[in-house]
Amino acid sequence: MADTVTSFTGPTQESVDESIERIKDFLFSIQEEGGYWNCELPIDSTVACDYLLYFHWAGAVDQAPLERIAAFVKGRQNEDGGWSQFPGGPSEVNATVKGYHALKLSGESPNADIMIKAREKALELGGIPAMCTWHKLYLALVGCFPWKFCPLIPVELMLMPKWFPINIYRVSSWTRNMLVPLAVINHFKPTRIIEHCPDLNELYPDGTMEGDWGLKWSPKIISWKNFFLAGDKLGRFVNHLPQWIFRKRALKEAEGWICDRVTHGSDGMGAIFPAIMNALVALECQGYEKDHWIFEKNLQHFKDLTLDSEWWPTYGKTHGNGVDGPEDWRIAPCFSPVWDTAIATMAIAESGHDPADPRLQAAADWLLEREIKFRGDWKENCDFTEATGWAFEFNNDWYPDVDDTFQVVLGLKPLLATNAKAQENTLDRAIRWCRAMQCKEGGFAAFDKDINDAWLEEVPFADHNAILDPPCSDITGRALETLALMGYGLEDDVVQRAKKFLLDTQLEDGSWFGRWGVNYIYGTGHALRGLHAVGEDMTQGYVQRARNWLENCQNEDGGWGESIWTYHDVATKGEGESTPSQTAWALLGLMTFGNPNRPSIQRGIGYLLRIQEEDGSWRTKLFTGTGFPRVFYLKYDSYEWSWPLYALAKYRKLLTES
């Protein structure tokens, strides 16, 4: 499809130059005073629903703007009555039950038309019994699901040594952050009935919560699922023994673990919504008063996740994203300043912008200040002795991640910080840490090293589809690109192992799966960029297959797009409405082969120029970011601007070199 349009006239040098200057002006206009960028992360309605549920459970509904939250949830209801995980997606059971529950908590009559439609859709999707385990646990907090059917999360996990196959450091960091507070909650079972919403019987198939809603045994008798379900039964028996010897000690260990991660260099527990909310409930269970400074700190960070103009004074004003009206209430899962800043500076630097520009120097200094000089949870699986790395958020010292750190190196290396020596030393330290975090398969994961025991996916509370942190192609591609920038090539052992990982994970059609961005376009573009950067021969058959795949899924309008639905149905891979970021990722992959005059590249660049807004930005309502495949997705506003700029800058450089 890509090269069949023969009447297309390629973009002119002048139009490319003008486009680059316009988007740079826009990006600088939304740069915050401290030198960083912090753009919005639009998400589905489920986080807003949980926010509302928490304040009802806490008996503090006066602290939540009920009408504004209800308006937010109503505004995202589908025509069929349900709610989706992403714009344009089908109604999904977890989102639909949460949406219905939130509106009922807000005082909406169950007899209202929107509630009738929501109820019918929820039941059509299986109702509450079909929900994810962790969502059922939230419903149990307010008496809408029986605790006895929530899988046991034994707090004794806190006492398991690292050599034991199941311990808190053998699961992903985000699971760990949510799991420890949930284990405390699971012990105390702090149900509080909400007077005007005492149950959700109408969302059960038989119209009542009474019944057997436990997880079903696998028909395969010898299986990990049945092993863990048997363990769940045994754990419940032990729980009923009087004065179970290890329980008190485990609860104390969990309390200390939570408090450490709330108080030390963190914007709340894990600096992310679910963990912060779980920690609030767990702290209250363990006797923390609401005026205790640890509880207050965590609660304030929880509230700070709601978007108002105070958090984005420059971005909100310039981008028109103020939240002054009732219909404009929004909430973020977390903040993304490090990620947004590192991608923006990489793109601006690639355009040839003067690195001595005070605005870029301020960004460089800000990134240097954000280096984490504390050995967090990652040290449990990696023996690197120095403290370094960057987190995604403003402050999250326990959880720097490899992907952010690679991206910071890409964004910081071309800049001129005020302290050049500190910049050089920091980059060197960061790349050594990243190299030490390489997984045994040769690829790189997000937060930890070698957290990939597939059998743990059968644990009863692991149905959030993200208990592991396996190495992935997109991060590994970025790793290779960064290693090349720091002077490593194909002769390097780390590079060789990473290259082999990409060879092993390439799919038959030539594409790569995208774990942290949507989806195969993201994975393929990043893999090609990394391979090219370290000096791979781009005439080889396996990379040529990747180019052919990208070109074959180019849209008629010249752009590229891929729906989130590809995570649910692989047959739809490479298909979807064109978006600025996905077009940029495809172009960045294709340009690794050279030849800027290739029709697919010319048409892709033309698409970006054609849809650019008057203010220099690009706009789309579609999500192209991935939190947890099949579970949670998001949109990065910054992706619409920084990635197209990076692609245009690469194209201009390729034109010059050719």
Question: pTM for this structure?
Answer: 0.94
Tell me which DSSP letter residue 633 carries.
E
pLDDT over 80 (residue 550): yes
pLDDT band at 1 (very low <50, low <70, confident <90, very high): very low
* pLDDT single digits (tens) 212-268: 766 676 677 666 555 555 555 556 656 665 556 788 999 999 999 999 999 999 999
Q: What is the mean pLDDT of residues 139-158?
A: 92
pLDDT band at 332 (very low <50, low <70, confident <90, very high): very high
Paired with 283 in beta bridges are: none
* pLDDT single digits (tens) 429-480: 999 999 999 999 999 999 999 999 888 877 777 676 788 999 999 999 999 9
pLDDT over 60 (residue 4): no
pLDDT at 3: 42
User: Which of 135-144, 158-167, 217-226, 620-629 has the weakest average pLDDT?
Assistant: 217-226
pLDDT at 7: 45
User: What is the full DSSP assignment across 490-509?
Assistant: TTSHHHHHHHHHHHHH--TT
pLDDT at 315: 56
pLDDT band at 192 (very low <50, low <70, confident <90, very high): very high
User: Which of 161-170, 415-424, 566-575 has the weakest average pLDDT?
Assistant: 161-170
| Residue 117: φ, ψ to 5° | -65, -40
Q: Are 620 and 559 in contact (CB under 8 A)?
A: no
User: Which of 204-208, 291-295, 443-447, 584-588 has the weakest average pLDDT?
Assistant: 204-208
Residue entry with tokens 């179970």: 244
What whole-number distance in Å separates Cα of residue 141 and Cα of residue 149? 13
pLDDT over 50 (residue 309): no
Which value, to the nearest 10 degrees, does the dihedral of the CA atoms of residues 502, 505, 506, 511 take? Answer: -100
Q: Are 235 and 152 in contact (CB under 8 A)?
A: yes
User: Which of 59-68, 222-231, 458-467, 571-580 has the weakest average pLDDT?
Assistant: 222-231
Helix (H, G, I), strand (E, B) or coil at 137: helix
Q: How many CB atoms lie within 10 A of CB 237?
A: 8
| Residue 43: φ, ψ to 5° | -140, -175
CA angle 261/265/269 to nearest 5° reads 35
Tell me which DSSP letter residue 398 carries.
T
What whole-number distance in Å separates Cα of residue 449 and Cα of residue 447? 7
pLDDT at 211: 80
Q: Which residues of 142-164 are buried (b: 16+ CB within 10 A; e: fewer)?
A: bbbbbeebbbbbbbbbbbbeeee
- Name the active-site residue from 397, 401, 403, 463: 403
Sequence ranges of the domains in the chain: 46-304, 335-437
pLDDT over 80 (residue 93): yes
E strand segments, 442-504? none
User: Which of 48-57, 242-251, 411-420, 601-610 has the weakest average pLDDT?
Assistant: 242-251
pLDDT band at 312 (very low <50, low <70, confident <90, very high): low
Residue 270's Cα: distance from chain center in Å?
13
User: Which of 85-94, 318-327, 405-414, 519-528 has the weakest average pLDDT?
Assistant: 318-327
46-304 CATH: 1.50.10.20
* pLDDT single digits (tens) 399-411: 999 999 999 999 9
Q: Is 403 a catalytic residue?
A: yes
pLDDT band at 5 (very low <50, low <70, confident <90, very high): very low
pLDDT over 60 (residue 318): no
Q: Are 219 and 170 in contact (CB under 8 A)?
A: no
**Tokens representing residue 529 in the block:** 């960029």
Strands 632-634 and 625-628: antiparallel
pLDDT at 213: 67
pLDDT band at 165 (very low <50, low <70, confident <90, very high): confident
pLDDT at 450: 96
Q: What is the mean pLDDT of residues 42-49?
A: 96
pLDDT over 70 (residue 553): yes
Higher pLDDT, 561 or 227: 561
Give percent of the chain above pLDDT 90: 82
pLDDT at 646: 99
Average pLDDT, the chain: 92
Q: How many CB atoms lie within 10 A of CB 286?
A: 17
User: Which of 104-118, 143-157, 618-632 has the weakest average pLDDT?
Assistant: 143-157
Residue 636's Cα: distance from chain center in Å?
10
